[in-house]
Structure 1
Amino acid sequence: MWKCSGSTCQVSDLTLVEVHTGGDSPHDMTLPGICEGYLLKRRKWPLKGWHKRYFVLEAGILRYSKHQHDVSRGRVQGSLDVSLAVMSINKKSNRIDLDAGDILYHMKVIAKSHELFYIWVTKLQAHRLFKKNEAAHVQSGFLQTLSVAGLPAAVRNSSRGPPSVADSAAEYFDASDDVLCGSSSEVSDESGLSEGSTTNSEPEEGHVSATRKYRASISKTPNSVVPKSTGRRTTLPAPCPDNSHVGLMAILYNNIGKDLARVSMPAALNEPVNLLQRLCEELEYSELLDTANNTSDPYQRMVYIAAFAISGYSTATFRNRYKPFNPVLGETYECIREDRSFRIISEQVCHHPPISACHAESENFSFWQDQRWKNKFWGKSLEILPTGMVNVTLQRYGDHYEWNKVVTCIHNVLSQQRYLEHYGEVTIRNLKSNTCTCKITFVKSRYWGSDTNKNEVQGTVLDQSGSVIHRFGGLWHEGIFCDTLPTPKCVWKPNPQPKDDVLYYGFSTFAMELNELPPELKPLLPPTDSRLRPDQRFSLTQNVLFSGYLIIFSCNNINDINIYTIYIQIFVCVSIFIFFFRKAKDSCGRDVWLTNETYWKLRENPGFANTENIILW
């Protein structure tokens, strides 16, 4: 831990810093000197790890290239206005992180020299302060020119007035910079994405041309047919509330250094589904698994499995304003879809760390996963890193596919203009055969690209020798096209969004059906089912003025149960709340949660109304 001395103050090993340099005045307009040299920059695709790059910091702009002579020739790979970024540092690893919302730089000093590290930190802060004061000075002068000319002399000569624009701007920037990165318990010195989920920080031109081609082909494909009526509801009981008044900055500021997964958020930020139901939502396009099960060619089967893996991310485009409810230990959710020929059970099997497990079965496939999430808050962006594996088996061929998930990043998390992005690399393996593998890259959006270049995804199916058999790609929110099939075609395209979906949390038709509770279903459910959870039911009706107190009361009761279950896990070391899944080891020695195949048996005989159940709410 550093101590406060002079104008520099750092309060922890991982913190944001605000340093006033360049003069005694907080509005000093002295241009700081140029700072340049080689630093390590984290690159996560295709060459993972730290790579040496030449950085130049001049007039508040940080630029970098591979070599020094590239900078002198104007060949810049990236640039960042440091005054727009939140800066965090890690003293132990001499690491500097800059988060400008759309741009995220991770840098380290090459030599293990704390002096060199401090020089870069000081210079960055000096340039940040210069740019902020420059912007405030220009704005202040512009506004003064507009206003003073038209004022009476008595008013112009008045010595009293409101605070200057420079003061207001400085106050705003200082407040926004005070937000801290994610908890130190979740972020290591070498924090970044896992090996299975990597970031493309320097996209290549090949992706650009390929995506243009795939997107043109997808656009020529007719839109998906609106799903046939299933007799289920097509809208929610009430529209979503306006949560623009919720101050995320204040919430995060008040929880500096804490694990964000354990921070209680206002009910107005929640959508009326929880993470257990989100696992079920990944089966919205289960027909891709049905098609794979009926495809004889193993390479083409892999294409459909890859399309299914991508399809689970498609709804994120419309779901950037709200978060799902966090399930409590022992909470369950079931979904039976006769129209899609599958049924699924999910359960919260661990409270800390939070782990959600699910298992779905059909005459064509089995689908299961257990997911745990870590989060990293960089100041303006929030990265969500899933660490579990997804599994699918096909009944006809006995294939067992396994793959990882990519990182989800919420950009501009502190503003109402936030948006979601997925990036990283997915590897799909068939554990029953080494005939082929699949690699999928969710391409990180280019800093200099347009909105049409976002959400790119590229994939290849490889044989045992590593030769490419199939290529496919597109946009994960628009569709996937494969041009190497015997008949090139769009293998997946998302269903059209329902009318006025923006008024209903951006839900798809499938998502709107997840929380429906018909009278004939209620007696068949265990009391732990998510649809019976009171705070979630109240949020569904969204009578906020009346139900807000009930939501708070219900949440307090649920939190009490959560605390109790933590004590049970720590001190008693028994899973008395876990009924339908068991902990095991997979072929790689990882902890996994598998179904114990009791849920559907108990549901049928003797029925949950005749069994002993835990009371969660």
Structure 2
Amino acid sequence: MTSPSSGTGTVAHTQQLAAVLADSEPCSCFSAANANDTAVAPIQGPEGKMNELVKSLPSPTLPGIHLPCSDTYKGWLFKWTNYLKGYQRRWFVLSNGLLSYYRTQAEMAHTCRGTIPLATAHIDVGDTCHFVLTSGGRNYHLKATSEGECQRWVSALQQANANATLMMHQSDDSGDEGPGPQEDRTINQGVLKTLSTKLDDLSTCNELIGKHGAALQRSLSELEDLRGAADSTDRVKSVNERATLFRITSNAMINACQDFVDVAESHNRRWQKALQYEREQRHHLEETIEQLAKQHNSLERAWRENPTTYSGEIHYLSERGDDSDENEEAEFFDAMEDSPAFITVSATGSIKHKRCRIPDKPNYSLNLWSIMKNCIGKDLSKIPMPVNFNEPLSMLQRLTEDLEYSELLDRAAHCDSSLEQMCLVAAFSVSSYSTTVHRTAKPFNPLLGETFELDRLEEYGYRSICEQVSHHPPAAALHVTSQRGWSLWQHITIDSKFRGKYISVMPLGNIHLHFHASGNHYVWSKVTSTVHNIIVGKLWIDQSGDIEIVNTTVKDTCRLKFSPYSYFSREVPRKVTGVVEDREGTGHYILSGTWDGKMESSKIVDSSEGCGGSEGKQKTVYQTLQPKLLWKKYPLPNNAENMYYFSSLALTLNEPEEGVAPTDSRMRPDQRLMEAGLWDEANTHKQRLEEHQRLERKKRDAQVNEALEDGQDVEGYLPLWFEKRTDETTGDITYTYRGGYWEAKERQDWSQCPEIY
């Protein structure tokens, strides 16, 4: 191919072609302004529009002509390949926010050597004629032939980067909130206008291809009729020129098609996200309306059955005035079509609001080391500790706090892809640690047989029951059922050790999660929690270790790594990373974030083997799309530092409720007194409860020994609401919910409950 600096031959050929095209049928697309410049004539109609399209075409029949376009830039650059070959000459094309490169211009028709998206690229200008593009973790070292050419490339790339970033801002923004309506409408209108323009280009090209094709066919027919004639040479030349025009028009058609496809593909993801956002909003609206309808019906029914219990009245307000007397016997389950209706309930006791604060923590001073110095190497669960080291919640309540971000599981229940579902499950497993970052106080050790229920059916669609099923070793069992498509259960045993400078808490056992619609069953465990600076300094907590989440149904896995904090590390504190893989071990998503802040997922689009792995193994390097926010921590309530750093959910867990079992943690006297700030009285009751528990244990041991002497087979203590079974998935001995608690609560029959307080 002739280079752009071919000089005289190029100009002469251009002038000749322009003259031929000016006299030829069916159109006249080009004219020469002078011997040293090639210009596009301002011709009207499809032929005039054709001039604009061919500006960006590298025509093999018009060497040396560079027709710049407003959204494209192209030319030769030198690209660094490797240390053996160094810089190699490549043909670069900048269009629609993408920088593509080829070995030659001819390769544009069939082979692209690489494409760099400028929306996520970073541009660094180096030495003379040298600049670097960084995108997707790769560096592209490029050189121009002159400083002027380098500056033109850098300016074009920076402008394209700014435009691409602006256009892709909405599609790359994967937060929980949807796109802004006004900005979303503006971008959509711009995209639709661009697509409409591209369609016009395609229509123009189609019309011209038809005309030029017909003219070419006529020329070929005339050429056959004039074989051997004197003017055959001129006719051959005419046919060649018309074939050239047809080729240029065809290339314009191809280019216009590619532009249309590029624009459509670049916004496809954004439109899909907008559609998904609308679906989620519709689903949320449907759930809200359903809840409002249920509350509406419940309030009406309650008022009609016993209106005297309400301090106020229920009024139906409509445009027709007060006509409620005429409809006294009717039940209004739906709003009337001919008139809007509203319900006003002035009764203050009809709806119970959860509390948003507890009494401030008293300022008690205590020498921690004087108590802990004799506990080194021992299991802290066996050591009586004053309430000064506690927070006014039991371990059962702390275990239930894992449900604070249950909406992650609600979203996961509606996922069609098991891999996307795994991302949300992983985020949920991390979210359970977000409330612990400032929670250095220990929860109360539950008494054997102690329970805790959390009924959030109306607010969040779930309810849970937890029971202390063993005292030594301390073990609790939890079961959660949700009306939004999932169930969760776990059996956790706590092993804690005091090492002098720090306390380590190791939860043992598995967490199970089952989604009703898909049948997917997930299993994972918890990491180690460590409280540092026991002897001197400010207490702080860290989470470290690995979590492996397994979808036992389809064998997808996710390995999460909780990096331990190190003063000398440059890593983000409390960092969590992970990879979601299918059953073949192929990675599909990268998870990253912190256990006290947020988690994001990035879809993997490419992977390669790199160096730097441990034990001589190769490390896999992943190329991903922009990250998507999965979970973000709620801000703590006001004055949280004086309320044990409790979250909004934690503040409600010990709130007294009517109708709960007498073994519920809310009923513990020492815990209630501590929450009220009466720590001395709380310590007195705590010692009494622990002594009562020891006496009960001695009685049980004596009964077991007596039964064994009589040759009877006894199992020892049996929990009330849970039973010991062999887990079918893991093969471990675990405690699972046997049922009956919520039925007993409905009957208010707690006769089976032991007296533990």
Which residue does the alignment assign to 1:276?
396
1:474 aligns with 2:590: no
State how far apart, in whole Å, the 2-side matches of 1:511 and 1:240 are: 15
Measured after TM superposition, the shift of residue 467 of structure 1 is: 1.5
Q: Which amino acid aligns with 2:546?
A: E
After superposition, give the CA deviation of every residue in 1:569-602 in whole Å (9 maximum; x if it has no partner).
7776435551100001113331110000121222
Which residue does the alignment assign to 2:342?
none
State how far apart, in whole Å, the 2-side matches of 1:349 and 1:570 are: 21
Measured after TM superposition, the shift of residue 283 of structure 1 is: 0.4
Which residue does the alignment assign to 2:353?
231
Change (3 A) 1:290 1:598: same
Specify which of 277, 290, 294 is matched with residue 414 of structure 2: 294
Q: Which amino acid aligns with 1:345?
A: I
Which residue does the alignment assign to 2:671?
536
1:584 aligns with 2:704: no
Kindly indicate whether the alpha-carbon contact (under 8 Å) linking 1:446 and 1:453 is maintained by their aligned counterparts in 2. no
Kindly indicate whether the alpha-carbon contact (under 8 Å) linking 2:175 and 2:629 is maintained by their aligned counterparts in 1. no
State how far apart, in whole Å, the 2-side matches of 1:224 and 1:614 are: 48
State how far apart, in whole Å, the 2-side matches of 1:508 and 1:266 are: 24
Change (3 A) 1:438 1:552: same
State how far apart, in whole Å, the 1-side matches of 2:535 and 2:548 are: 33
Which residue does the alignment assign to 2:735?
593
Measured after TM superposition, the shift of residue 412 of structure 1 is: 1.1
Measured after TM superposition, the shift of residue 561 of structure 1 is: 3.5
Measured after TM superposition, the shift of residue 566 of structure 1 is: 5.9
Which residue does the alignment assign to 1:453?
572
After superposition, give the CA deviation of every residue in 1:174-199 in whole Å (9 maximum; x if it has no partner).
xxxxxxxxxxxxxxxxxxxxxxxxxx
State how far apart, in whole Å, the 1-side matches of 2:176 and 2:639 are: 18
Change (3 A) 1:570 1:537: farther
**Superposition pairs for residues 487-498 of structure 1, below 5 Å?**
488-498=627-637
With 387-396 and 256-265 compared, the bigger mean Cα shift is at: 256-265
Kindly indicate whether the alpha-carbon contact (under 8 Å) linking 1:367 and 1:391 is maintained by their aligned counterparts in 2. yes
State how far apart, in whole Å, the 1-side matches of 2:543 and 2:705 are: 35
After superposition, give the CA deviation of every residue in 1:42-79 in whole Å (9 maximum; x if it has no partner).
xxxxxxxxxxxxxxxxxxxxxxxxxxxxxxxxxxxxxx
Which residue does the alignment assign to 1:131?
none
Change (3 A) 1:614 1:478: same
Change (3 A) 1:345 1:416: farther
Change (3 A) 1:612 1:472: closer
State how far apart, in whole Å, the 2-side matches of 1:537 and 1:343 are: 23
Tell me the C-alpha RMSD between the 2 structures: 2.7
Measured after TM superposition, the shift of residue 554 of structure 1 is: 4.0
Which residue does the alignment assign to 1:32?
none
State how far apart, in whole Å, the 2-side matches of 1:570 and 1:398 are: 45
State how far apart, in whole Å, the 2-side matches of 1:371 and 1:273 are: 17
TM-score in terms of structure 2 length: 0.48
Measured after TM superposition, the shift of residue 253 of structure 1 is: 2.4
Kindly indicate whether the alpha-carbon contact (under 8 Å) linking 1:274 and 1:327 is maintained by their aligned counterparts in 2. yes
1:504 aligns with 2:646: no
State how far apart, in whole Å, the 2-side matches of 1:333 and 1:531 are: 8
Measured after TM superposition, the shift of residue 526 of structure 1 is: 1.9
Which residue does the alignment assign to 1:263?
383
Kindly indicate whether the alpha-carbon contact (under 8 Å) linking 1:368 and 1:390 is maintained by their aligned counterparts in 2. yes
State how far apart, in whole Å, the 1-side matches of 2:672 and 2:524 are: 34
Kindly indicate whether the alpha-carbon contact (under 8 Å) linking 1:427 and 1:437 is maintained by their aligned counterparts in 2. yes
Measured after TM superposition, the shift of residue 453 of structure 1 is: 2.4
State how far apart, in whole Å, the 2-side matches of 1:352 and 1:567 are: 17
Specify which of 454, 458, 479 is matched with residue 335 of structure 1: 454
Change (3 A) 1:546 1:381: closer
After superposition, give the CA deviation of every residue in 1:514-545 in whole Å (9 maximum; x if it has no partner).
01113xx2xx2221111111111111111235
Say which SS state the counterpart of residue 601 (structure 1) adopts: helix
Q: Which amino acid aligns with 1:507?
A: F
Which residue does the alignment assign to 2:444?
325
Q: Which amino acid aligns with 2:357?
A: T
Which residue does the alignment assign to 2:499?
378
Kindly indicate whether the alpha-carbon contact (under 8 Å) linking 1:569 and 1:575 is maintained by their aligned counterparts in 2. yes
State how far apart, in whole Å, the 1-side matches of 2:459 and 2:567 are: 43
**Superposition pairs for residues 95-110 of structure 1, below 5 Å?**
none
Change (3 A) 1:400 1:547: closer
Q: Which amino acid aligns with 2:665?
A: S
With 302-311 and 530-539 compared, the bigger mean Cα shift is at: 530-539
Change (3 A) 1:343 1:570: farther
Which residue does the alignment assign to 1:613?
753
Q: Which amino acid aligns with 2:355?
A: R
1:398 aligns with 2:519: yes
Measured after TM superposition, the shift of residue 258 of structure 1 is: 3.7
Larger CA Rg, structure 1 vs 2: 2
After superposition, give the CA deviation of every residue in 1:132-183 in whole Å (9 maximum; x if it has no partner).
xxxxxxxxxxxxxxxxxxxxxxxxxxxxxxxxxxxxxxxxxxxxxxxxxxxx
Measured after TM superposition, the shift of residue 270 of structure 1 is: 1.1
Kindly indicate whether the alpha-carbon contact (under 8 Å) linking 2:591 and 2:599 is maintained by their aligned counterparts in 1. yes
Q: Which amino acid aligns with 2:450?
A: E
Change (3 A) 1:366 1:568: farther
Q: Which amino acid aligns with 1:248?
A: L
Kindly indicate whether the alpha-carbon contact (under 8 Å) linking 1:356 and 1:372 is maintained by their aligned counterparts in 2. yes
Specify which structure has the bigger relative contact order, considering alpha-carbon pairs within 8 angstroms and separated by 6 or more residues. Answer: 1
After superposition, give the CA deviation of every residue in 1:386-434 in whole Å (9 maximum; x if it has no partner).
1100110011111110001111111112335111111111111111222
State how far apart, in whole Å, the 1-side matches of 2:681 and 2:566 are: 46
Which residue does the alignment assign to 1:12?
none
Kindly indicate whether the alpha-carbon contact (under 8 Å) linking 1:577 and 1:614 is maintained by their aligned counterparts in 2. no
State how far apart, in whole Å, the 2-side matches of 1:423 and 1:528 are: 34
In structure 2, stretches of 5+ residues that fail to align are 1-136, 138-169, 179-287, 289-350, 605-624, 708-713
Measured after TM superposition, the shift of residue 383 of structure 1 is: 1.4
The structure carrying a bigger helix percent of its residues is: 2
State how far apart, in whole Å, the 1-side matches of 2:177 and 2:540 are: 25
Q: Which amino acid aligns with 1:595?
A: Y
Change (3 A) 1:546 1:612: closer
TM-score in terms of structure 1 length: 0.59
Change (3 A) 1:347 1:545: closer
After superposition, give the CA deviation of every residue in 1:83-109 in whole Å (9 maximum; x if it has no partner).
xxxxxxxxxxxxxxxxxxxxxxxxxxx
State how far apart, in whole Å, the 2-side matches of 1:569 and 1:284 are: 41
Say which SS state the counterpart of residue 428 (structure 2) adopts: helix
Specify which of 656, 660, 682 is matched with residue 517 of structure 1: 656
Kindly indicate whether the alpha-carbon contact (under 8 Å) linking 1:380 and 1:413 is maintained by their aligned counterparts in 2. yes
State how far apart, in whole Å, the 2-side matches of 1:571 and 1:403 are: 41
